[in-house]
A and B are shown apart, each in its own frame.
Chain A
């Protein structure tokens, strides 16, 4: 109970910090449109809420498969596909170790320094950074979706991405959330023709995980004329307008996702 109250308190103060940053942006005039700040805040909150649902589902499954576990014992909850090894690296980083597998040093050292100096808790810090980055990535995706499909499409895009199989990994202390956030920001920067910013974000994504190399494909994708055309056409496909079809896809994806999470927490994956 104490842990629960504590984490709620920590969450609220971080939410207050995010709100103050938002107010700063429109008060200083850096962002002219107040509504866009509020909209970004709502998307980030929506992303964080999805993350929390995943988190509690994973913690619940860990209790079923791994014996009684405290819902906030991050180390125990996330002891799967190499996350436990990563958590060890956050505490005692090693450059050699951090370039093996999918890992790269940037996030490991970030989690080490922020976790050690600021939050005094490595697993929790890594989790928080991933939540933050995933929420930031969601904001970028929603911006892209809004430009392509208008206001209706923006939250749908975020929901679709976060419902995909293995999307739960974005909300774990591994580096996937960070890579996703950086990649989404890089894609948005490229879309806005801010090439230098794109390069910086792509470099950061690569230095975080080898998966970040995928960001190098973005300029190529953008060069394909059919890609943008296809993106514009997606909502026009008649089949997508059928609510039963959409509900069916949604149920299938969510079931598949739940099944994958169960396999992961049960140790089969």
Chain B
């Protein structure tokens, strides 16, 4: 190949790279705008229904938010009534504390972290989708993600946005075989949520399949071990503040969480029986989490048929399995909504009518749950 041809190819690659980055930048702003739009619509809907909670009540007192804000301000405690906050992972509070240096308010910093993370999550998700799909499917994947059923948690001060950002970045760097970046991102993910450590599975899958196929093992792939090391650091945190590596398990099992590990079947059975006896809660907690479990599992089979990358399917399987490994769960719907590769499967579906119907249902539920969340209902 002569020099001019090489130069042409390089220029085209650079052009495509920069086009991808430009596209990612646009997606970033579109994602942030989508959150603002959801907030505005849900707020209007809530006001039309006659509710008028304060900003503090909506954002700073909902669900686990006060706990994260407390951790950002005071960090973990070895004793006292706040010692049980050891069940929360440290990376989100650390980010809040860092942003607080600039914005001077914990709740504002938490919301800014959430919005920025969602923007970055979408940008990286766009780049991830572009590795395998054309523009149309990429757009569908993104819009599907924007309309996530429990997408309201991406506008509030919860870990969800940060977590999906780390998952999107982690999967992208795994695909790019940038093992150092994937390791560091995975390390942070493992310090953000229990499911974060599962990013190790797609990494391990890609490494093993690559090594068997190419009959060569790349030493740099050992950086992926940083991902489980993140979880080890969390265990060390438990040892330091709780006196035992698994202190968080003890705290989770006690009030107010009552969370013990139970086989998936038992967890779903408990959700069902509680749903039957609590009708109003069943509509916002129990039925959605049971239905979303089956949708997520069915999606794995759909993904296998539409040839979605197996490492993503592995992640979804492990994620859903780990999430529903609970005796008494209240946030299954929220967790499934944060399982990013599910939107890759959605993007991979060929039938546009099916896609549009799914999108419509998603959008309606996303709006409804956002309104209910703002009203202070038990959307957890």
B263 touches A119 (CB 8 A): yes
Which listed residue, B208, B290, B297, touches A13 by the CB 8 Å rule?
A: B297
Tell me whether A124 and B297 are in contact in the complex, defined as CB-CB below 8 angstroms, given that A2-B269, A5-B290 are known contacts. Answer: no
B264 touches A6 (CB 8 A): yes
Tell me whether A120 and B212 are in contact in the complex, defined as CB-CB below 8 angstroms, given that A2-B270, A2-B272, A23-B310 are known contacts. Answer: no
Q: B residues 186-213 with Cβ under 8 Å of A?
A: 205, 208-209, 212-213
A24 touches B272 (CB 8 A): no
B269 touches A5 (CB 8 A): yes
Q: B residues 285-333 with Cβ under 8 Å of A?
A: 290, 293-294, 297-298, 300-301, 304, 310, 313-314, 317, 320-321, 324
In the bound complex, CA of A5 to CA of B271 (Å): 10
Task: Bin the interface of chain A by size.
Answer: 20 to 34
A12 touches B297 (CB 8 A): yes
B13 at the interface (CB under 8 A from A): no
Tell me whether A2 and B320 are in contact in the complex, defined as CB-CB below 8 angstroms, given that A13-B297, A16-B297, A29-B212 are known contacts. Answer: no
Q: Which residues of B contact A5 (CB under 8 A)?
A: 268-269, 272, 290
| Binary flags per residue of A1-30, CB closer than 8 Å to B gives 1, else 0 | 111011101101100110110011001111
A121 at the interface (CB under 8 A from B): yes
B262 at the interface (CB under 8 A from A): yes
Q: Which residues of A contact B61 (CB under 8 A)?
A: none
B261 at the interface (CB under 8 A from A): yes
B66 at the interface (CB under 8 A from A): no
CB-CB nearest in chain A for B213: A29
Q: A residues 156-181 with Cβ under 8 Å of B?
A: none
Q: Which residues of B contact A1 (CB under 8 A)?
A: 272
A20 touches B314 (CB 8 A): yes
In the bound complex, CA of A124 to CA of B270 (Å): 17
Q: Which residues of A contact B321 (CB under 8 A)?
A: 13, 17
A6 touches B266 (CB 8 A): yes
Q: Which residues of B contact A119 (CB under 8 A)?
A: 263
In the bound complex, CA of A200 to CA of B269 (Å): 40
B213 touches A28 (CB 8 A): yes
B290 touches A120 (CB 8 A): no
Q: Which residues of A contact B244 (CB under 8 A)?
A: none
A20 touches B317 (CB 8 A): yes
Q: Closest CB-CB distance, B163 to chain A, in whole Å?
A: 21
CB-CB nearest in chain A for B318: A17
B267 at the interface (CB under 8 A from A): yes
Q: Closest CB-CB distance, A74 to chain B, in whole Å?
A: 11
Q: Which residues of B contact A23 (CB under 8 A)?
A: 304, 310, 313
CB-CB nearest in chain A for B314: A20
Q: B residues 136-171 with Cβ under 8 Å of A?
A: none
B264 touches A9 (CB 8 A): yes
**Taking chain A's interface residues, is the majority helix, strand, or loop, or is none over half, making it mixed?**
helix
In the bound complex, CA of A106 to CA of B275 (Å): 41
Q: Which residues of A contact B209 (CB under 8 A)?
A: 24, 27-28
B51 at the interface (CB under 8 A from A): no
B273 at the interface (CB under 8 A from A): yes
Q: Which residues of A contact B271 (CB under 8 A)?
A: 2
Which listed residue, B205, B273, B313, touches A2 by the CB 8 Å rule?
A: B273
CB-CB nearest in chain B for A3: B269
In the bound complex, CA of A251 to CA of B265 (Å): 36
CB-CB nearest in chain B for A115: B263
Q: Which residues of B contact A124 (CB under 8 A)?
A: 263, 265
Q: Closest CB-CB distance, A104 to chain B, in whole Å?
A: 26
Most buried by B among A6, A7, A12, A119: A6
Q: Closest CB-CB distance, A120 to chain B, in whole Å?
A: 5
Q: Closest CB-CB distance, B123 to chain A, in whole Å?
A: 29
Tell me whether A6 and B213 are in contact in the complex, defined as CB-CB below 8 angstroms, given that A24-B205, A121-B263 are known contacts. Answer: no
In the bound complex, CA of A3 to CA of B262 (Å): 13
Which listed residue, B260, B268, B298, B320, touches A6 by the CB 8 Å rule?
A: B268
Q: Which residues of A contact B262 (CB under 8 A)?
A: 120-121
Q: Closest CB-CB distance, A197 to chain B, in whole Å?
A: 19
A16 touches B301 (CB 8 A): yes
Tell me whether A20 and B313 are in contact in the complex, defined as CB-CB below 8 angstroms, given that A1-B272, A5-B290, A9-B294 are known contacts. Answer: yes
CB-CB nearest in chain B for A119: B263
B269 touches A30 (CB 8 A): no
Tell me whether A9 and B301 are in contact in the complex, defined as CB-CB below 8 angstroms, given that A20-B314, A24-B209, A28-B208 are known contacts. Answer: no
B263 touches A10 (CB 8 A): yes
Q: Which residues of B contact A28 (CB under 8 A)?
A: 208-209, 212-213
In the bound complex, CA of A133 to CA of B138 (Å): 42
Q: Closest CB-CB distance, B210 to chain A, in whole Å?
A: 9
A9 touches B310 (CB 8 A): no
Q: Which residues of B contact A7 (CB under 8 A)?
A: 265
Q: Which residues of B contact A2 (CB under 8 A)?
A: 268-273, 276
Q: Which residues of B contact A30 (CB under 8 A)?
A: 212
| Binary flags per residue of B246-263, CB closer than 8 Å to A gives 1, else 0 | 000000000000001111
Instruction: Please give me the 10 A-B residue pairs with the lowest Cβ-Cβ distance, nearest first.
Output: A2-B272, A6-B265, A6-B268, A6-B269, A2-B269, A10-B265, A28-B212, A16-B300, A119-B263, A28-B209
17 extra interface residue pairs, beta carbon distance < 8 Å, beyond A13-B264, A20-B310, A120-B260: A2-B269, A2-B276, A3-B269, A6-B264, A6-B268, A6-B272, A9-B268, A9-B294, A10-B263, A10-B264, A12-B298, A19-B304, A20-B313, A23-B313, A29-B213, A119-B263, A121-B266
Could you pull out 16 A-B pairs where Cβ atoms are within 8 angstroms?
Answer: A2-B276, A6-B272, A9-B264, A9-B293, A12-B298, A13-B324, A16-B297, A16-B300, A17-B317, A19-B300, A19-B301, A20-B300, A20-B304, A20-B314, A29-B212, A121-B266
